[in-house]
Amino acid sequence: MLHNLGGGKRPIGLLLSVLLASSLLISSPATALTGQTAPAAPSAAGVLQPLYLNNGFGRDAETQRVFSWETTTDYSNATVDIVAGGMPFKPENIRTFTGTTAKVPLAAGVTARNEQHVTVTGLEPGQSYDYRLGDTTTSAGSVSRYYSATYHFTTEPSAAEPFTFIHFADSQGDTSSYTKYWGNTVSKALTKLPDAAFIIDTGDMTDPHAPAQIDATAIAHWDAFFNAVGAGFSGPAFLPVLGNHEGSAASPVSFYQSVFPVGSQEGCPVSGYPLNYAYTYGNALFLELNSNYTSGADLTKQIAWIRSVAAGVGAGKVIIAAFHKGPYGELHSGDADVAAIKNSLVPVLEEVGVSLVLQGHDHQYYRSFPIKGGKPNTSVAGNLICTATDGAVFMCTGTSGQKTHAMYKKAWISKYWDPTTQGGNATQDTYSAITVDGDRISVNVYNTGDQLVDSYTILASANKNGARAGDIPGEVVIGPRPSIAARNPA
Ligand SMILES: [Fe+2]
Ligand SMILES: [Fe+2]
């Protein structure tokens, strides 16, 4: 069940007026969008080719889904057709949901495009569905209907069954790098984990640093980011947090919200920086936090929101937090903004019982000793951690893309993968497969060479006597890792 927004991003009145304007002023089918290799323009074959296709949970992962994609401005009547998994798209099987269309907020001079959003409701928990996107063009009074290929998704079961999700971080790089690195990482992860329930991405998805607006350079990166993924985010929900490279200014945040169906937490009092959101899935509560704050007042509001959500729906649940600027990181651990987050948020995360914190920003794989009372519990150096007695683990899943940084091993880091001393492996990007089963969190970190980089288990409420066979993995021995010099942008 989701306890934040679904696809709400713009006032409904504005959406309707834009939709009407788009319908009335529609032009003839356009050419491909600037910088993209998968044009969303209508094709002669009548096949809709969506750009940026991804989806979120809506207000309830058991019964809802929100689909988002982009097209040229030719399209203006977004729909999603749903059928039960494996059923043909015949009228008697189809439920059609209509959506909204708006102009994507882009800098002047960038070819205009439309954002399309459709919320699907009334689904059955734990069921698989096939769906197709629909859209309409109107030219010289002639209306043409286009449909996409067929995609597939599964809703959250009503019972708190074990589930696995994927964690990615920092896919940024040169525009030419996304397919080679980011696309490869996503492909490897989805191949190993075809039934992953969803994906958490802890930010810095693209490289242009906090652009004032999404200009030609920034949109080229986003095009490359999504082109590298293909239809990879059509099934599992994609649930990102904002990185510092995505920016905090109104225009890039508005663009971000046009792309991803995650928005302001309903009732979240953090003005100016939305994108704090929370959801429960199975036996876990997830807190996805915006870490682009510089104001103590904003942090105070965020803290109140964390406490409110945890008190409201966190009782008895495993709690996992995710944000970009990890308070127990390495390269950026001395930054003033990171220190502010550590001082303000870490005590509150401990107070509400967070077991695992997913981080980005550092572009290296590491996890902390369990942190309790603001101190690393260095006596717990193994692969079994008990939250109540040991503390919370802070983990950065490394990089899913081109850029890596040198490793700066801090006193609070328990395990890490050092690119400079463990050099030689050409498959160094990493992702995590995280399984929640009752009160235990099992984390397996892989590189794109299918090597297990790290493996550990967190018991969120039990002590070590609650461990069972298989909870304590053996020490992981990984292959060597290469020099990073050849892969970083100049
Ligand atoms: Fe970052
Ligand atoms: Fe980054």
Burial class (CB in 10 A: 0-12, 13-18, 19+), 29: middle
Burial class (CB in 10 A: 0-12, 13-18, 19+), 217: middle
- Contact (Cβ atoms closer than 8 angstroms) between residue 257 and residue 241: no
CA distance 394 to 329: 8
Taking only the tens place, the pLDDT of each residue in 235-262 is: 999 999 999 999 888 899 899 989 998 7
325 CA from centroid of ligand 2 (Å): 9
Residue 30: is its pLDDT beyond 60? no
Strand 65-71 and strand 51-56: the pairing is antiparallel
Taking only the tens place, the pLDDT of each residue in 357-388 is: 999 998 889 999 999 999 999 999 888 999 99
Which pLDDT belongs to residue 458?
A: 96
Taking only the tens place, the pLDDT of each residue in 443-478 is: 999 988 888 889 999 999 988 888 777 776 655 545
End-to-end Cα, the chain, rounded Å: 44
Query: Which residues place a Cβ less than 5 A from the ion ligand 2?
Result: 170, 204
45 CA from centroid of ligand 2 (Å): 40
250 CA from centroid of ligand 2 (Å): 20
Which pLDDT belongs to residue 78?
A: 93
CA distance 98 to 64: 14
- Contact (Cβ atoms closer than 8 angstroms) between residue 226 and residue 35: no
Q: Which domains does the chain have, with CATH numbers?
A: 12-154 (2.60.40.380), 163-466 (3.60.21.10)
21 CA from centroid of ligand 2 (Å): 38
Q: Classify the C-alpha dihedral 198-201-205-209 as positive or negative.
A: positive
- Identify the nearest ligand to the CA of 170 by its number: 2
Which pLDDT belongs to residue 263?
A: 60
CA distance 325 to 334: 11
CA distance 17 to 44: 29
223 CA from centroid of ligand 2 (Å): 18
Higher pLDDT residue, 168 or 454?
Answer: 168
- Contact (Cβ atoms closer than 8 angstroms) between residue 431 and residue 188: yes
Which pLDDT belongs to residue 129?
A: 98
Q: Where are the beta strands (DSSP E) in 169-236?
A: 198-201
- Identify the nearest ligand to the CA of 338 by its number: 1
360 CA from centroid of ligand 2 (Å): 7
- Contact (Cβ atoms closer than 8 angstroms) between residue 239 and residue 56: yes
Work out the mean pLDDT of the chain and round it to a whole number: 83
243 CA from centroid of ligand 2 (Å): 7
Taking only the tens place, the pLDDT of each residue in 93-147 is: 999 999 999 999 999 999 999 999 999 999 999 999 999 999 888 777 888 888 9
Which pLDDT belongs to residue 472?
A: 64
The one-letter amino acid code at 322 reads A
Which pLDDT belongs to residue 9?
A: 27
- Give the model's confidence band at 301: pLDDT under 50 very low, under 70 low, under 90 confident, else very high: confident
361 CA from centroid of ligand 1 (Å): 4
Which pLDDT belongs to residue 274?
A: 60
Which pLDDT belongs to residue 136?
A: 84
Taking only the tens place, the pLDDT of each residue in 310-341 is: 998 899 999 999 999 989 988 888 888 899 89
Strand 284-289 and strand 318-325: the pairing is parallel
464 CA from centroid of ligand 2 (Å): 36
Does residue 338 sit in helix, strand or coil?
Answer: helix
275 CA from centroid of ligand 2 (Å): 18
341 CA from centroid of ligand 2 (Å): 17
Q: Describe the crossing of helices 296-313 and 336-352 by its angle, rounded to 10 degrees.
A: 20
Q: What predicted TM-score, i.e. pTM, was given to this entire model? A: 0.88
Rg (CA), the chain: 22
325 CA from centroid of ligand 1 (Å): 7
Residue 350: is its pLDDT beyond 50? yes
Q: What is the mean pLDDT of residues 55-84?
A: 92
Taking only the tens place, the pLDDT of each residue in 171-218 is: 999 999 999 999 999 999 999 999 999 999 999 999 999 999 999 999
259 CA from centroid of ligand 1 (Å): 19
Taking only the tens place, the pLDDT of each residue in 419-445 is: 554 433 345 799 999 999 999 999 999
CA distance 391 to 395: 13
CA distance 417 to 169: 15
* Count of positions (residues) in the chain: 490
